[in-house]
Amino acid sequence: MISSQSPQSPAEFALSGVTGTLTLELTGLVDPQLMVPDLEADSKLGAIKLLVDRLHQRGVVDDSLSFLQSVLERENLMSTVLDGEVALPHARSRSVRRLGLALGVCERPIDFPSGDDRCGVRLICLIAVPVDAPGRYLGLLAALAGAFSDNDVKRKLLEAGSSDSMHQLMTSRLDGAAL
């Protein structure tokens, strides 16, 4: 078994050669301070900026402007809208210190272009990825996509009302997931 832990990252990664699966312990990755139950934004850009600022405040991102630019460039390549209600914007950037995510709930749907359609997104989960860890977040993306495909999870997040409730729900849903 090979395992490594960056001293800057609260997440713990372990690779098992027997099963060939990557397991990510999400303790520390889902930070209650990065759960925003009342994201007040009226545009896609505004919502992403607010979440980038949270990641910067918590030390996940060193340079918020550089990371914001990376996220917007990634968004221009391909939509990150899952089902019309959820968006998973993400980017790799040199300004990211450790893998992290910020989750915001919008009271009113925000217009997120998705192909030829425009979707009213209410859940936005921004993922920050260090450049030296391009594969680490793929399992996280898959686990998040699975969680957000569950209508009960989406409903509970929309009704959570507090960072702690959102944190508890996301931790219980994602903790121990094989990534």
Q: What is the CATH number of the domain that holds 143?
A: 3.40.930.10
pLDDT, position 37: 97
- Cα–Cα distance, 124 to 146 (Å, whole number): 15
Number of domains in the chain: 1
Identify the burial level of 24 via C-beta atoms within 10 angstroms of its C-beta, where 0-12 means exposed, 13-18 middle and 19 or more buried: buried
**What distance in Å separates the CA atoms of residue 121 and residue 110, rounded to the nearest whole number?**
5
Looking at residue 18, what is its pLDDT?
30
In angstroms, the first-to-last Cα distance of the chain is: 16
Residue 139 included in any domain: yes
Query: What pLDDT, on a 0 to 100 scale, did the predictor assign at position 23?
Result: 44
Domain membership flag for residue 83: yes
Question: Residue 157: what pLDDT?
Answer: 96
> What is the chain's pLDDT, residue by residue, as a tens digit (179 residues)?
222 333 333 333 332 233 334 444 554 578 999 999 999 999 999 999 999 999 999 999 999 999 999 999 999 998 899 888 999 999 999 999 999 999 999 999 999 876 657 788 999 999 999 998 767 778 888 889 889 999 999 999 999 999 999 999 999 888 755 44
Write out the residue range of the structural domain in which residue 54 sits. 26-174
Asked, for residue 50, whether it belongs to a domain, the answer is yes
Domain-embedded: residue 21: no
